[in-house]
A and B are shown apart, each in its own frame.
Chain A
Amino acid sequence: MKNKSFGSRLIAAPYIVWSVIFIVVPLIIMFYFALTNESGVFTLANLASIGKYKKAFGISVLYAAISTLITLLLAYPMAYFMTKLKVSSQRMLMMIVMIPMWMNFLIRTYSWITLLANTGIINTFLGKLGLGPYKLMYTPGAVILGMVYDFIPYMILPIYSVLSKLDKSLLEAAEDLGSNGFTKFKRVILPLSKPGIISGVTMVFVPSVSTFYISQKLGGNKTMLIGDVIEYFFNLGPTYYNVASAISLVLMVMILICLFVMNRFSDDDDGGVII
């Protein structure tokens, strides 16, 4: 008997070896690069130089926070209304929400330029009404719009999946106990949808704070996000790998702290973070 279970434990071995080599070791190497200079000598200079990119860090967090909030405010009602429909239409709508995710996100981002440019569709339309043209491209608003657009399915789906599993009898109980619509939402529905919200917020915030494509395309050269700084240094070549590693390391630590704080918020330990 002992032998058999040893056998079934053994088949995890390839994965464990794989995850050590390709998940753990790369992070150690990143640490090593961040804490050494070009010739491999220990230094804190890379980490010390990060102060120069305070602004990029600040803007990244600010933009990601704003777009996560907007995404949440747009996605929650959508997910909520979806649960009110027939089961077959619910499933259809879920597909409709998911399909854009299968399109390449570079193209999805890029096609906004056609809509937002000074000679783009929106301004042409407004021009016919005698308005504009407004400067929509290369603004902070365009970058935030891009983030909201690219990542909104990741917010709708987890919230929807939590709301659709909500126990109806709890809502009836709340009504029986005299709750009106608003208190029912505030005291019952919202607290119970927390795991979905946390999961959605994580899945929108992390890619937003670390993006470099959206800001390059929709923000022009004016908005340098932290992802842009990292990408810029890596493209400069091996001499800059150390500094870029240090910035990546700080970004990683920052994301981990954000996730940790968010998980504390959820104050339940049933691991709702995973979809």
Chain B
Amino acid sequence: MDRQPVPAMAVTADMILQRRRGKRYTQAGVYLILCVLVLWSVQVTIIEDTDWARMGSLAEVWESTNRFIGIDFALFKDLIGPTIETFMIACLGTLLGVLLCIPAAWFGALNITPFKPVTYPLARLMMTISRSIHEIVWALFFVAAVGLGALPGIFAIAVRSVGFIAKMSAEAIEDIDPGPVEAIRSVGGNNLQVLIYAILPQILPQVLGVIIFEWEINIRRSAVLGLVGAGGLGLVFFRQMNTFNYHGVMSVIIAILALIVLGEAFSHRVRRAII
């Protein structure tokens, strides 16, 4: 493949260099704006807002950090109960979330939503609300509504996780192979039968994976709900903090980490087995 007479060097190194330089100037401009924005934020949030006198010198900060180094081993036997509680809140919350997600996913999947103009946007709105509010806010809300204890924690976890599970399930439903649906319809199946025989088997592995993934995150969440009065390890953390038992605080953190690591290992195993 010979090229015909080459048009005397259409591109020169100068052109390329110049273009690159121009590009670099625009890039530099963008970064400059970014830097100004950062510096302004730093000025407002960190330099002006911080009570530097209260913080004191670096040595004092180091000293207050040092208070946390160490573990209160005696506390561990009192942590077993709350750890189990946290675990159970995560499990029950996920379970309730899964139950709530069935109607949400049904309404939120374009291909099976019963009455598109109403149910679809409604379901999508619920999913967004559920996902966009932080679990602590949900917990505050439910503590205010049903009182202290494990129950508001379960509600908070359930409501917080329903959005993600429902969104992923709805997407899975939208992606199904329509063949089996037609097959079940053609043997005279009604909507429910289509759901159970044609849709559910197709999305089950995927949805199960999502649920386990969310369960793993829920353990992490349920460990802090106690901070606002919803039981579990968070409550102990709060108490240790308020009684200035900093080594106890570290013990609670270790318990949380252990629980999370276990959950992660388990979820990793199960998800691999499913997929």
- Verify that A and B bind, or say they do not: no
B contacts, CB < 8 Å to A: none
A contacts, CB < 8 Å to B: none
